[in-house]
Amino acid sequence: MIEDDRDCMDVLKQIAAASGALRSLGMVLMEDHLKGCVAEAIVNKETAKEDQLIHQVVDVFNKFSK
């Protein structure tokens, strides 16, 4: 779009749309991770793995919330 000399507002709208799509994808992946890996660790009572996975999810969530 920039190479085509498109209006700055059009480019910014596309950037916002792409950012939103990536954020949504990230949330879907995080949900899948929670329902899969983290839930499995909880069910299997793997406390060390559970703590590690929860810490990872919290770190990623903090990055997404900025």
> pLDDT tens digits for the chain (66 residues)?
777 888 999 999 999 999 999 989 988 998 898 888 888 888 888 888 888 888 888 998 888 777
Q: What is the pLDDT of residue 14?
A: 94
CA nearest to 51, candidates 63, 62, 41, 36: 41
Inter-residue contact 16 to 8 (CB < 8 Å): no
Structure token digits, residue 32: 């899948």
Q: Is residue 1 part of a domain?
A: no
Distances (CA, A) of 22 to 6, 25, 32, 64, 65: 23, 5, 15, 10, 13
Q: Is residue 38 part of a domain?
A: yes
Q: Is residue 58 part of a domain?
A: yes
Q: What is the pLDDT of residue 16?
A: 96
Q: Is residue 30 part of a domain?
A: yes
Q: Is residue 3 part of a domain?
A: no
Q: What is the pLDDT of residue 39?
A: 85
Q: What is the pLDDT of residue 24?
A: 92
Range of the domain at 12: 8-64
pTM exceeds 0.85 = no
Q: Rounded to whole angstroms, how far apart are CA atoms 40 and 53?
A: 11
Number of domains the chain contains: 1
Q: Is residue 2 part of a domain?
A: no
